[in-house]
Amino acid sequence: MDLIDRLWDESTNETVRQTLEPTVPFFEIVTHLGDGALLVVLGVLLYWFGARDRRRDRLFVIAIGLSALALSAGLKGIFELPRPDVAFAPAGYPGYTFPSAHAMGAAAVYGALAATMDLGRARTRYAIAGVLIGLVALSRVVIGVHFAGDVIVGLVLGLGLVAAGQWLSSTERFDPGATFALAAVIAVSAFALGSRVFVSLTLGASLGGLAGWYLFKDRTTSNSAAAVLAIGVFALIALGLLRAVSLSLGVTIPDLLFSGAGVAIEAAGYALLTAFLIAVPVLAVAVEDDPRLRQLQRRLPFEGRQLNPDDLSPEND
């Protein structure tokens, strides 16, 4: 058996599992660092509560993450390869195996964060990102939901998206508009090639992100964490409801959901919600002078819109 065959052979999963047996509970936890929902929430919170002069960088991270979702979902829907058949894999684990969305998402998001952040030295940021990405990728093999080849391809493609996003941003540093456009192109291409995995979400969110960025990028944003939180809660609730409805429709009337009209309607919903998520710091300006929000702002451990670590210290309790 040659090396390529071993990368997509269950015996490799079994060997890795046996070698790392004492650390399996650790990997069962660390794998969630690549969950799509966690990466989305992380990206959105950093965008909402980051420095106002860095929102371009933070939105670039979200656009890279969305590109990774579009690419991983598109490839899964095109190849439709089954997951490893190993005894220790979680029963009934859904979806297809190639490529690993967790590995690709972790590589894209944590890699983009390392590239855009100014905190500490660049080599330290990249080292931390590399450790997180490596642990997530290895965890997928250890718990038996992906072949080794799936995670390697996911890592290469995720890091490649970060590089592609930076290349597309050659005229403007970390241009989220160009990266949202890349995500839209990937989603449309995947749909044209027959993929129906998350196509409404990725196409709608990428188009909504593109429109939202150009509509709101020059607008004044609020410096009140309380105001951003008040508006943002509604956005997150709406996103959760839309996802729940989409999943429900996918089970009850899948033919409608995957028809042209169904894809268009669902994509429009995700487009509007993504634009809303981008607009939250702008919309917060309208409510930041509300007395109740001013009082809440004084109670929150924030200096303006940014977390103030000093307010979290025990002596300030």
Q: Where are the domains of the chain?
A: 3-222
Stretches where the chain sits below pLDDT 70 are 1, 171, 246-262, 309-317
- The Cα 110–Cα 266 span in angstroms is 29
pLDDT at 253: 42
> What pLDDT digit, counting tens, does each position of 32-58 carry?
999 998 999 999 999 999 888 888 999
- Enumerate the H helices of the chain as residue ranges: 3-7, 10-19, 24-30, 36-49, 55-79, 101-116, 122-142, 148-168, 176-192, 199-216, 225-252, 254-257, 260-283, 291-299
- The Cα 186–Cα 189 span in angstroms is 5
How is residue 39 written in tokens? 């990466």
pLDDT at 261: 67
Please name the residue that has the structure tokens 């025990």: 314
pLDDT at 251: 42
pTM of the complete model: 0.90
pLDDT at 51: 82
How is residue 257 written in tokens? 């959901």
- The Cα 148–Cα 7 span in angstroms is 5
3-state secondary structure of 307: strand
Residues 6+ apart with CB under 8 A from 244: none
CB 180, CB 209: distance < 8 Å: yes
- The Cα 274–Cα 160 span in angstroms is 24
| Torsion, Cα of 174, 177, 181, 186 (10° steps) | 40
pLDDT at 54: 86
pLDDT at 200: 87
